[in-house]
Amino acid sequence: MRILHFIHSIDPATGGPVEGLRQRCTIYRLNGHEVEVACLDSPESVAGWNFPAKVNALGPGWGVFGYSRRAMPWLKANLSRFDVVFLDGVWQYNLYAAHRALAGTEIPWAIFVHGMLDPYFRKRYPLKHIKKIIYWKCFLGKVMRDASAVLFTCEEEKILARQSFSPYKINERVVPYGTFGPDCDLEAAREEFLVQWPDLRGKRLALALGRIHPKKATDILIEAYAKTLGKDDAWHLVIAGPDQIGWQKELEALAAQLGISHRITWTGMLEGTLKWGAFSAAEVFVIPSHQENFGIVVAEAQACGLPVIFSEKVNIWREVMNYWAGLVGEDTIEGTTTTLRRWSELSMEDIASLRIRSKKCFHELFDFNVTSKLAMAGVEHVVRTTARYADKNSG
């Protein structure tokens, strides 16, 4: 099967959707399928990102929407080479261009929404939501209706998406999501991380890894940490991730105001061995986000046996808590303070038990080595349920 994914950007700093696509490309190859990726990045920028599939860079896209005059001609010239097309994301030009280019063809296509229909955004950005309502009624609602399937990473994401827009007539399907575990020796990775940041050696580390963005509730984490673990000399908070919107200086000022600057380390974005080393060196992973459609970093933390403190707005919280593999609370200062305080009261035996259950949760629910067959079944279902597939396989 020949598969095309069209995504706004493959810049690793943009977060989970890109990392998830990297993992899917590996799954496709392991299952004997061919995959290409199209994006609205410039050819010069993609060269340094080492993406594990052929990348067709159709940008640079203009503005937030990502308009590129090269996208439509390339799609019309190349779509016939593919058996199925997946569109990653909702609000950018890649979706608009692909819908127009696919019109009148029999090529099956589906949309991975990546949490972008979550009602959180309606509440957090009400003015933007008004523009999105207009866009939905004029265009996007029809696109969603026309798609062979609209794909969600978990049941919670699917249910929440129904609350944001109307009319809402789509072919919903949940396709298993996850990640691969570490591809390196964790002890060696841990040592490499601690050599890079030697002041962290011997500390009990709470790790927050991901984009520095208000959605991730990093400000709430800092305030809750100051009230709990930050009062203990044994503890240190590691905040690892790109400062995507220039928020870090404000957060550093907040930490200084609270008197805990010396108990927070900002590493910037971590990739490869250093990322796995951070997971391995930490005692607990903390993600009090206001919205996460899946939270691929949660699965990565669990792959290293790291328990998770998270909010109920991380959509896989029920799955994780079914294994009692972490602590969950509200996405507020009070909720995060409560979970951090509960963590401080755990015994070493309790923590060891949580580590075992966390790794078990990963291997049974989120490890692509286990779930890849289900993931591919979801992809193949999109193809099999179309008239084009029936015509090709009739007789």
Q: Which domains does the chain have, with CATH numbers?
A: 2-179+369-392 (3.40.50.2000), 186-366 (3.40.50.2000)
What pLDDT, on a 0 to 100 scale, did the predictor assign at position 393? Answer: 56
Confidence of residue 236 (pLDDT cuts 50, 70, 90): very high
pLDDT over 70 (residue 392): no
What pLDDT, on a 0 to 100 scale, did the predictor assign at position 26? Answer: 86
pLDDT over 60 (residue 243): yes
What pLDDT, on a 0 to 100 scale, did the predictor assign at position 395? Answer: 47
Structural contact between residues 118 and 90, judged by C-beta atoms closer than 8 angstroms: no
Sign of the torsion angle spanned by Cα atoms 95, 245, 259, 257: negative
Residue 250 in tokens: 């404000």
Mean pLDDT for the stretch of residues 305-329: 94
Mean pLDDT for the stretch of residues 262-269: 97
Confidence of residue 390 (pLDDT cuts 50, 70, 90): low
Structural contact between residues 268 and 193, judged by C-beta atoms closer than 8 angstroms: no
**d(C-alpha 258, C-alpha 225), whole Å:** 10
**d(C-alpha 33, C-alpha 339), whole Å:** 44
- What's the mean pLDDT when you consider all of the chain? 91
Mean pLDDT for the stretch of residues 327-342: 97
Mean pLDDT for the stretch of residues 347-354: 97
Q: pLDDT of 357-370, one tens digit each?
A: 999 999 999 998 88
Coil, helix or strand at residue 130:
helix
Q: HSE of 339 in the Cβ direction (CA atoms, 13 Å)?
A: 25
What pLDDT, on a 0 to 100 scale, did the predictor assign at position 212? Answer: 94
Confidence of residue 385 (pLDDT cuts 50, 70, 90): low
pLDDT over 50 (residue 310): yes
66 alpha carbon, distance to own chain's centre: 20
Plot region of 193 (φ>0 → left; ψ -120 to 50 → alpha; else → beta) = alpha
Helix H or strand E segment including 150: strand 149-152
Q: State the residue for tokens 């999109």.
A: 382
